[in-house]
Structure 1
Amino acid sequence: MSLLLFTALHAALLAGSGGITSRLDDAPGMQDVAPAQGHEARLQQARDLATSGDPAQREQAIRLYGAMLQASPGNSDVLLARGRTYAWMGRYAEAEADLLAVTARKPDYADAWSALGDLYLWSDRPKRAAEAYAHWVALAPDAPAPLIARGRAWRAAGDMGAARADFAAAGGLGAEAAQIASLNEGTLQRQAVPDALLADGYRWSLRAGIDHTGFSGGRDAWNDSNVSLRRKFERGSLALEWLRADHFNRSSNAWALDGYASLWARAYANLRYQRGPRGGLLANQAWRAELFQGVGSGWELSASIDHLRFSADTEFYGVGVGRYVGNWYVRYKLQHVPGASSGSWSQRAVVRNYYRGNADDYLEFSGGHGRSTDLDRYGALVRNSNASFGVNWVRYVRQDWGFKLGAGYADDAGGFNEQQLSLALYRRW
């Protein structure tokens, strides 16, 4: 009888307060996790495993969180911790499910909105990140961290005005001036084609331009025109372009597709394909691929390939380096054309000032020499100059209307001097 009584008492104890601990220890995969007493101790143990950075330990943390949720379904702290861990592991769908469950159950849980914003930002959904961070901002209106987080999301989404506004507000709440200056540096435009990646709330943009090139020595002038319709997407844009060249009492038309795409962190690419008539003034076929990568503090590296087909094929290989300092952008590019002997080389430098502190309005100076496609506004003619200089002014008179004025001079390698004038109008909606 004493043995039966002992067995019954033991079973009763297991069914009491110690039962949860026993079930956690016996949960699948938990044999490799050191036992801990109490909810908070186990939660801290799982957090330590999750923040170790070791994939195997993070898997252990996920198993521990799962066992805790079996014992306490819907526990917001555990769901938040597991959601963050899933996000660190790149398991975004599972992370989103956990974190949305927390925000739905506890909409005033600031840490959950912060974690949800991080998840969306890491999974390349910056607009949704900004929406999540907005809840964090509302719950902590006197803290700079939520504003900085939302500003980063707006910057990733291409809304530089909203990003700068949040960074400025964070500065007003006590964020370090050096940090705010560094954050604002990243809101400047990052590519050579204005507005190609920045959405700023617009889905469509239209560009129409006219270029006039006069020559010395009695050579007939050139007149060129182009129209470009660009569609913005969350991670890039695609434009359909029409181009017309009128040279030497002849004319040619061409069509092109020009796309920009955001890639991984601080990287984007430009891909272009152009088609014209055989034997025309513009290339029969032309394509370009250029990759840009931000590095360090304000630096940008690039590599490009241009392929042009006239009567024969010509390829250009280029490398570039750019630097952002305050409202200034400086870029140098070197291009090489393979050929007989060592081929030919060209160099070009651009200095741009965003004089109004936004990403739309700028004054640009450029200069270069050698055989290059970059010296031409179309990227489809081979230009060869001993020296060239240019200046461009871009100004948006309204949020949806702007213009570009340009002038240039080139000492053409063929013995002619060029004087260039250009005008373009911009419309976006």
Structure 2
Amino acid sequence: MKYGKGLLILLLLQWAQAQFPATMVDTLLQTGKYDEILRICQSELLEDSTSYEALFNAARAAAFKQDYDTALRYYDLFLTHYPHDPDGHLGKGRVLAWSGDYPRAELEFLAVTDTFPDYTDAWVALGSLYLWWHQPEKAIAVYTRLLEKEPTNSRYYFIRGKQYLAVNETVAARRDLVQALKLGYDRDQVDPLLKTLSRQVVTDTWSAGLVVQHDRFLPQNESWTALSAKVLRNFSHGTGLLYVTNNSRYGKQDQALLLDSYFDLWPGAYGNWTHQVALGADFLPLNTYRLEIIQSIGLGWEASGSYGHMNFPHSNVDLYSVMGGKYAGNYYGRLRYLLAISGPNMDHSLILSLRRYLSSAFNFVDITTGLSTKLFKNVYLGDALSQSGSYFAVVMVQHRWNGHYLTQGQYALRQSATTQFDWMHSFLLSVDYLF
């Protein structure tokens, strides 16, 4: 076998250590009496300069004392006489890692894992090194190897999930963090990371972009157009996105400012506040605002409730909604109920969305469909309430490319609930540059 000789050496060393337990040394280490251990070992080395126990324990004592230069000298002497000892290489690697010499520490740990691939302590040490060294891709590979051996270790899933998050692999991060919870890992450590994942993770501080939307209504062949410029700023506990829009309808133009912000709340929850102000409105509402609170309820589930208000010159609209969502692997599903009330008129909508994440949270395909029922006062029937229905479907694709560009395309089809227009086709294109 490829590893037969190395495995035999490891078994023999473990047998030798079992026959001669260093209980006294361990007791002295636990009580911090490092100088006494060094004195005992130096005395033994005067009688036998190649003593396995004396060299190894002297190196350990110096390492615990944080006298790394002395520890390395003892480990070098030890490995001169016992060059194939895995614990010697492992101990030397740990001292090098503690002293900040990560490249040399990596070589020592790899010397052990290459020769003794089943030595778990060496893999754990290598994984810890990559965490300190900020090498998330290598850390992911190590903890994947550890999970192959211990598939129910919740700590390994938690650590690997954090490393996936560090490289914006948010789908894989969510999968590992949820699995860590299922296996009993501390919810107080997992929930803050899952809350971060509930909104799109963006490591870039600033972004700016343009949005073009064109709506065409048939058979009247009426067109609406909106052109927006936007700037996004990321903060440690949220984001702020500002839009400046120019809207063209019915041969008229309205301009508006829109703020769309996300912010952290209590553990497992975050909020979304949007506020639009029209700059002299002909057809847009003078003011529109909406607050939504989203709460994670564990194992990939989340729920939300929201209230919004639209203030037109001659009427007001109140908007209420509740939502339930579920993350499952690379998928996110969401069902939302929306109620819009304006005087005696009410509009009930049921909206179902399914998102398929691709390589990261930036890249996905989203399909949304919904039904709407409108109750309104019919002046032709003596102000009696009448009912009409509509349906719609939306397909959205988003992709980040070349590191700094984020593009989003969207197509929507809607059968109008009113008799003014029968069909609406909507096209949207958004391009952002991330700084």
Shorter-chain TM-score bucket reads 0.5 to 0.7
Equivalent residues in 2 for 1:247-258 (5 A)?
Answer: 247-258=249-260
Q: Which stretches in structure 1 are left out of the alignment for 5+ residues?
A: 1-39, 42-75, 77-105, 109-130, 373-383
State the shift of 1:285 in Å: 0.6
The one of 160, 168, 171 aligned to 1:160: 168
Identity %: 19
Specify the code of the residue in structure 1 equivalent to 2:335. Answer: Y
Secondary structure of 2:284 counterpart: coil
- Tell me, in whole angstroms, the C-alpha distance in 2 between the residues paired with 1:343 and 1:288: 18
- Tell me, in whole angstroms, the C-alpha distance in 2 between the residues paired with 1:226 and 1:275: 14
The one of 268, 282, 285 aligned to 1:283: 285
Secondary structure of 1:160 counterpart: coil
1:86: which partner in 2?
none
Verify the 8 A CA contact 2:275 2:288 in the aligned structure 1: yes
Secondary structure of 2:222 counterpart: coil
2:396: which partner in 1?
392
State the shift of 1:264 in Å: 2.6
Q: Is structure 2 residue 355 aligned with structure 1 residue 347?
A: no
State the shift of 1:413 in Å: 1.2
Report the structure number with the largest CA radius of gyration.
2
1:307: which partner in 2?
309
- Tell me, in whole angstroms, the C-alpha distance in 2 between the residues paired with 1:325 and 1:404: 23
- Tell me, in whole angstroms, the C-alpha distance in 1 between the residues paired with 2:408 and 2:288: 25
Verify the 8 A CA contact 1:348 1:367 in the aligned structure 2: yes
Q: How many corresponding residue pairs?
A: 280
Verify the 8 A CA contact 2:316 2:342 in the aligned structure 1: no
Deviations 1:75-109 (A, max 9, x none): x9xxxxxxxxxxxxxxxxxxxxxxxxxxxxx968x
Q: Is structure 2 residue 415 aligned with structure 1 residue 411?
A: yes
Deviations 1:92-137 (A, max 9, x none): xxxxxxxxxxxxxx968xxxxxxxxxxxxxxxxxxxxxx9993499
State the shift of 1:166 in Å: 12
Deviations 1:300-353 (A, max 9, x none): 101111111112221101000011111111111101124566833111111111
Verify the 8 A CA contact 1:154 1:162 in the aligned structure 2: no
Tell me which stretches of 4 or more aligned residues in structure 1 moved more than 4 Å. Answer: 140-155, 162-168, 185-189, 339-342
Verify the 8 A CA contact 2:175 2:329 in the aligned structure 1: no
Verify the 8 A CA contact 2:227 2:246 in the aligned structure 1: yes
Secondary structure of 1:221 counterpart: strand
Q: Is structure 2 residue 224 aligned with structure 1 residue 222?
A: yes
Deviations 1:137-164 (A, max 9, x none): 99x9887787655555567x77533895
- Tell me, in whole angstroms, the C-alpha distance in 1 between the residues paired with 2:412 and 2:297: 32
1:244: which partner in 2?
246
1:325: which partner in 2?
328
Verify the 8 A CA contact 1:277 1:283 in the aligned structure 2: no
1:425: which partner in 2?
431
2:49: which partner in 1?
none
Secondary structure of 2:283 counterpart: coil
Residues 160, 386 of structure 1: CA spacing in aligned structure 2 closer, same or farther, 3 A cutoff? same
The one of 211, 222, 232 aligned to 2:234: 232
Residues 167, 385 of structure 1: CA spacing in aligned structure 2 closer, same or farther, 3 A cutoff? closer
Verify the 8 A CA contact 2:171 2:361 in the aligned structure 1: no
Residues 259, 132 of structure 1: CA spacing in aligned structure 2 closer, same or farther, 3 A cutoff? farther
Verify the 8 A CA contact 1:160 1:188 in the aligned structure 2: no
State the shift of 1:203 in Å: 0.3
State the shift of 1:256 in Å: 1.6
Residues 419, 303 of structure 1: CA spacing in aligned structure 2 closer, same or farther, 3 A cutoff? same
Q: Which stretches in structure 2 are left out of the alignment for 5+ residues?
A: 1-29, 32-64, 66-96, 100-127, 148-153, 185-189, 375-387
Specify the code of the residue in structure 2 equivalent to 1:419. Answer: H
- Tell me, in whole angstroms, the C-alpha distance in 2 between the residues paired with 1:404 and 1:314: 30
TM-score when scaled to structure 2?
0.55
- Tell me, in whole angstroms, the C-alpha distance in 2 between the residues paired with 1:163 and 1:352: 12
Equivalent residues in 2 for 1:257-268 (5 A)?
Answer: 257-268=259-270
- Tell me, in whole angstroms, the C-alpha distance in 1 between the residues paired with 2:276 and 2:252: 19
2:131: which partner in 1?
134
Residues 400, 334 of structure 1: CA spacing in aligned structure 2 closer, same or farther, 3 A cutoff? same
Residues 218, 363 of structure 1: CA spacing in aligned structure 2 closer, same or farther, 3 A cutoff? same
Verify the 8 A CA contact 2:170 2:360 in the aligned structure 1: no
- Tell me, in whole angstroms, the C-alpha distance in 1 between the residues paired with 2:409 and 2:332: 19
- Tell me, in whole angstroms, the C-alpha distance in 2 between the residues paired with 1:188 and 1:330: 18
Equivalent residues in 2 for 1:14-413 (5 A)?
Answer: 134-135=131-132, 148-151=157-160, 153=162, 160-161=168-169, 164=172, 190-191=198-199, 195=200, 198-199=201-202, 201-311=203-313, 312-338=315-341, 343-354=346-357, 356-370=358-372, 386-413=390-417
Specify the code of the residue in structure 1 equivalent to 2:211. Answer: G
